[in-house]
Each structure stands twice: as C-alpha cells, then as structure tokens.
Structure 1
Amino acid sequence: MESLLPFLLFAFVASITPGPTNILVLSHSSRWGLGATLPIIFGACVAAALIVFAVGLGVGETLLRFPRVQQAMVWIGVFWLSWLAWQIFQSAPPSLNPTTPRDEGLSVFGAATLQLLNPKVWMMAVAVVSVFAGGGDKTMRLVLLSLVFLLVSLPCMTLWALLGVGSARFFGSPQAFKRVNHALAFLLLVSAWLTVLV
C-alpha cells in the first residue's frame, strides 16, 4: 500500500474540487438543509466508488472500445445536467409557510444516476485504476481503493452541503436566494458544457 497516501491526496482533490455533483449538493442543501441532502451525498459517493470498482473490473476498457457509447453517455450527461441547471435557475425561494407543499428535489437515485452520466467521475475512475490499481490480481486493491474513495468523498461533499446551508442563512432574502440559484445554475451549465467544448 505504498501508493495509499498519494491516492488519498488524489481522492481528496477529485472530491473537493467544483463539479456538477458538488454544485447540485450545494444548491440542494441551501434549499432543503443538510439532513435532506445527506442521502443524496451518500448516493453520489457510493455510485462514484462503485464506478471506480467497475472501471477496475474492465468496464473502462469496454467503454474505450466503443467510442459511440462513450459519446452518447457524455451527451446524455450534458443534456441532463443542463436540464438540472434550468431547474435550479427557475426554482422559487423556499417558502417560510409550513403549510406550503414542498417539492422533493434530487433523489438518492437521481444523485447516483448523475454519477453514472458525469464525465468527471468516469475520467477520475480511469485515472484511479490506471495509476493506483497496479498489475496482477487487483480485486482486493480495487475494493480498498473504492472504499477509501468513498470515505474521502463523503466528508468532502458534506463540506459542499454545509456551504449551501451557510449560504441559505447568509442570503436569507428571496431575491438573494434567486441570485445564488442563478449563479449555481450558470456554474452547473458551464461545468457540463466544458466537457464537450474543451
């Protein structure tokens, strides 16, 4: 396990840097709070760890053999993220009236699906496997890398959720909430489209 420390650093940087999932977690927590966002964080982190494991077992090589499938995944992901950005952009500020019906937001399944369609997650998983998995029988190493990635990504994404909760308190007015949502929608849109334009 001589490469565990470099992998820990890699996992931290991959998990803490802005990306579509972190932006959605920030937006979700600013609207519904930390408690409602924790299942989404868990779903996204487990899905990312499972993608690392699946890529290590050969899914990554299979995708490399079928570039059209890769391209389709990228475009589906970009369009879905664009739709989510639109949802964030047009969402109304949360109601202070407790009798107002509450919409659900992103689900655990939605967060996990987002990871499956997120090009950043797949690129990260390919990098993990090619740099840190090593040769030979690597099943146990893949389990360890996936578990470590999960354990590193959970607190990193929770930090983004806490940032969202803090922004909701700081920007308490409906106008400020809309401005924050417009900025988050723009960032999500940029992060989605940069994957195909750059």
Structure 2
Amino acid sequence: MDAFLSLLVFALVATGSPGGATAMATISGVNFGFRRSLPLMSGIAAGLASMAALAGLGLGGLLSAHPSLALGMKVLGSAYLLWLAWQTAHRGAPHLSASARPNGFLAGIWMLWHNPKGWAMTTGAAATFVALASSPTHLGVLLGAVFGVLSLLSLSLWCVAGLVLTRIIRSDHQWRRLNTSLGLLLALSVVPVWL
C-alpha cells in the first residue's frame, strides 16, 4: 500500500506541476471555458495514460535504445509548443466568434506523444514502480489508469484557474499582458526538455 501511495503522490506532482499541458489547459479555459476545453483536456489525459501504459509495457526502452527517434520527437514536440506559445502570446481579450474552435482531443494526444518530458516521466515511473504489478501488462494498466485519472483532475484545476482569470481581468491591456505571460510560460516549458 505504501508503494501505491508513493505512485499516487508521484503522479499527482508530475501531472499537476506547471508545464506545456497545464499551460494549454489554462489557456483553453481562458479562451473557451471549461466545457469547450474538455476535448483538449481529455486528449492530453488519454495521451499521458497511453504513454504510461506503453512505458509499463516496455516501449520506453525502445526510445532509450534509439536516440534519433527520441531526438525527432523532441524537435517536433518543441516546435509545436513554441508555435502554440506564439499564438497565445499574440492574442488579445477572448472576443471569440461562434465559429472559433479550441484545440481538440487529437491535438492533446499529439502534444503529449511528442513530449520527451512525458516519456521520461512515465518511463521513470515504470522503472520505479515495477514491483507494484505481477506483469508488464498489469503495470501498464495500473500506470495508465493512475496517470490518466490524475492528469484529467489536474488539467481540470488548471482550466478552472483560467476561468477565474476571465472573471478578474477586464481591460484589453490586462488580457494582452496575461496572454503574453501565458505564451512565455508555455515557451519556457520547452527548456527542461532540452536540459
């Protein structure tokens, strides 16, 4: 039971700490509200859950064995996050038309699957908590469930934080400052990937 509680604490800290996914949930909450952000948050959670499950099954070893594959994922993931950061930093107040659409389920999965930090986190969890399961399949299911559920919980909290910001911020100048700050934070989330 102590090892399972350690896994829960590890996953809660890993999924709740600021980074690209949490910044995307906050930005989506600011611009689209909670309900319209659910597909993105569900995609991010599903992406992390699938990564954790695959790490438990042993795919993390493949990425370690083929550094060029890991480097390609790092480059693509970083470019995508920097593009999102640029888009965010140049937004004003959320005066969205009815046709404006938030990032969806597949965008959330895509962002996570190209995130080397996510792979490092889930493969680290698989190596650390391998004794919790009797087989790689059981470990994959356990890690996938824990990371998926806790990710959705933490992303929901970050999205609600974005909703709170929409109630506090009133002027266009404040919106530009907020969006610039969120864009900068999203861009800075790329730095640990390369360290």
- Tell me the TM-score normalized by structure 2: 0.93
How does 1:90-169 map onto structure 2 within 5 Å?
90-95=90-95, 100-134=97-131, 137-169=135-167
Q: After superposition, what is the alpha-carbon deviation per residue over 1:45-92, rounded to whole angstroms, capped at 9, x for unaligned?
A: 111011011122221111111101111110111111110101101123
Q: Is the 8 A contact 1:133 1:142 kept in 2?
A: no
2:4 is aligned to 4
Q: Look up the equivalent residue of 1:67 and give its one-letter code.
A: P
CA deviation after TM superposition for structure 1 residue 2, in Å: 4.6
Q: Which residue does the alignment assign to 2:171?
A: 173
Q: Structure 1 residues 136 and 101, CA, compared in 2 at 3 Å: closer, same or farther?
A: closer
* Correspondences of 1:14-93 after superposition (within 5 Å): 14-93=14-93
- 5+ residue gaps, structure 1, are none
Q: Which runs of 4+ in 1 moved over 4 A?
A: none
The CA deviation at 1:179 is 0.8
| 2:126–2:139 contact (8 Å) kept in structure 1 | no
1:152 positional shift? 1.6
Distance in 2 between residues matched to 1:141 and 1:76, nearest whole Å: 28
- Structure 2 unaligned residues grouped into runs of 5+: none
Q: Which amino acid in structure 2 is aligned with residue 116 of structure 1?
A: W
Structure 2: how far apart are the matches of 1:41 and 1:82? Answer: 19
Aligned-pair identity (%): 28
What is the root-mean-square deviation in Å for CA atoms of aligned residues?
1.6
Q: Distance in 1 between matches of 2:136 and 2:121?
A: 18
CA distance in 1, matches of 2:104, 2:34: 14
Which residue type is aligned with residue 16 of structure 2? I
Residue 11 of structure 2 contacts residue 150 of structure 2 at CA under 8 Å; is this kept in 1?
Answer: yes
Q: How much does 1:113 deviate?
A: 0.5
